[in-house]
């Protein structure tokens, strides 16, 4: 696991954007998983600038949301597809036909999860998984649990995650209790993994990741240790 320590949020974001740009320039039709949250917003802003400057072309790339809330549609303002549309897609020359999120409104979420996994597999799997991290060590919505899931699945969110994400809703009660997330296997099969972490509430998780080499299902991010090409870009010392 390669750690890159940056001095500021801006520097972290620029560094992550460079990694993603390099990947897209190397393989214009690359398949990406993209996260939501406050942390990657700066990276998306940097990517939009690089796209306007003609330094990166999104038109052939394939982009998959890492996760989506159950019950929220593509148009829903708190939904994760909408987040990526607002923060990235509408600012770059992406082909919207090649942007995907799990179907949060599907009657059968398990089936929607399976279809999503098949769609990623059909394109040859992820070339790069771009990730944030939850304060409890979750990646995507792979929450701490007795066991982890291999493929995309429907997860019941932990109270810690509901509280952390309540800021995007009018109140905690409005946060969906379930989500669809790409699984740990989907992530670990990606050729490259890039994770960004910033802020006091992530300090404990990043320190733990740094110091503790055990693989623990109650700390899902620890499984990234199994992957040969992981870069953690962080402002956390």
Active site residue 136: yes
Provide φ and ψ at 232, rounded to 5°: -100, 120
Q: Which is nearer to ligand GLP, 31 or 133 (CB)?
A: 133
Q: Record the tokens describing residue 118, joined without a space.
A: 């098949």
Q: Which is nearer to ligand GLP, 29 or 210 (CB)?
A: 210
Give the integer Cα–Cα distance in Å for 62 and 31: 5
Give the integer Cα–Cα distance in Å for 53 and 51: 5
Helices (H), 91-143: 109-122
Sole binder of ligand GLP in the list 42, 102, 109, 140 (CB under 6 A): 140
- From residue 19 to residue 58, what is the string marking binding to ligand GLP with x (rule CB under 6 A)? ----------------xxxxx-------------------
Active site residue 218: no
- From residue 148 to residue 187, what is the string marking binding to ligand GLP with x (rule CB under 6 A)? -------------x---x----------------------
Does residue 66 touch ligand GLP according to CB under 6 A?
Answer: yes
Read out DSSP for 184-220?
HHHHHTSSEEEEEE-SGGGHHHHHHHHH----BTTBG
Give the integer Cα–Cα distance in Å for 106 and 113: 9
What is the binding site for ligand GLP (CB under 6 A)? 35-39, 66-67, 132-134, 140-141, 161, 165
What are the catalytic residues? 67, 136, 138, 143
């Amino acid at each position: 696991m390669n750690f890159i320590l940056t001095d500021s949020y801006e520097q972290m974001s620029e560094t992550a954007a460079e990694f993603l740009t390099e990947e897209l320039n190397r393989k214009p039709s690359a398949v990406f998983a993209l996260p939501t949250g406050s942390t990657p917003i700066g990276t998306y802003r940097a990517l939009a600038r690089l796209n306007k400057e003609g330094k990166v072309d999104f038109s052939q790339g394939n982009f998959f949301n890492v996760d989506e809330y159950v019950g929220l549609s593509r148009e829903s303002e708190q939904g994760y597809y909408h987040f990526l549309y607002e923060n990235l897609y509408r600012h770059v020359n992406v082909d919207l036909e090649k942007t995907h999120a799990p179907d949060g409104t599907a009657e059968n979420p398990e089936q929607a999860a399976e279809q999503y996994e098949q769609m990623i597999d059909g394109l040859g799997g992820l070339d790069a998984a771009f990730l944030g991290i939850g304060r409890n060590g979750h990646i995507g919505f792979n929450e701490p649990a007795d066991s982890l899931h291999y493929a995309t699945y429907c997860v019941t969110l932990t109270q810690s995650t509901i509280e952390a994400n309540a800021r995007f809703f009018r109140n905690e009660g409005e946060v969906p209790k379930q989500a669809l997330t790409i699984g740990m296997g989907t992530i670990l099969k990606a050729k490259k993994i890039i994770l960004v972490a910033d802020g006091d509430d992530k300090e404990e998780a990043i320190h733990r990741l740094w110091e503790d080499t055990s693989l623990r299902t109650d700390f899902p991010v620890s499984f990234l240790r199994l992957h040969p090409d992981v870069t953690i870009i962080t402002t956390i010392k």
